Amino acid sequence: MTLNADDKAHIRAIWPSIASHAEQYGAEALHRMFVCHPQTKTYFPNFDFHANSAHLKNHGKKVVNALTDVVKHLDHPEASLSHLSDLHAFTLRVDPGNFALLSKNILVVVAVHHSDQLTAETHQSLDKFLNVVSGLLTSKYR
């Protein structure tokens, strides 16, 4: 799946609204994922999973900041994600299905906070973007 020029324009238009709330939105997306899919907690044995915990805020910020880096390099996202792909595949051995689960929760958080900006076209573009990211993060598993 590739992003076309319209997709990139939609992503670049909404992303500053997301990036400016990296800690909050990342924590909310993780919290939703952990509540809805408790099996994902196994990779975080020492986390406090309560909403707005320091653990969720810290890791959520890392997630959104990593996505922000990818947005800055939409023409070559694989370069931005190579080190994270290696880390998740070879060191952390995260279930690759978890990336899709987190992606869905990121979309929900964006919809909650930016329903006015999340047109059908922007939603589609963000969904494609997050699928591209998930695909690249799982590419080293094969």
Q: Which residue has the higher pLDDT, 139 or 142?
A: 139
Largest pairwise CA distance in the chain = 42
| pTM, two decimal places | 0.93
pLDDT digits (tens, 9 = 90+) for 58-82: 999 999 999 999 999 999 998 888 8
Return the pLDDT at 85.
80
Per the structure block, which two tokens stand in for 139? 């590419």
* pLDDT tens-digit map of 4-16: 999 999 999 999 9
Cα–Cα distance, 85 to 1 (Å, whole number): 17
* Per-residue pLDDT, 86: 79
Judged against a pLDDT cut of 80, whether residue 84 lies above it is answered with: yes
Asked if residue 59 lies in contact with residue 26, where contact means CB atoms within 8 angstroms, the answer is yes
Residue 142 banded pLDDT, cuts 50, 70, 90:
low
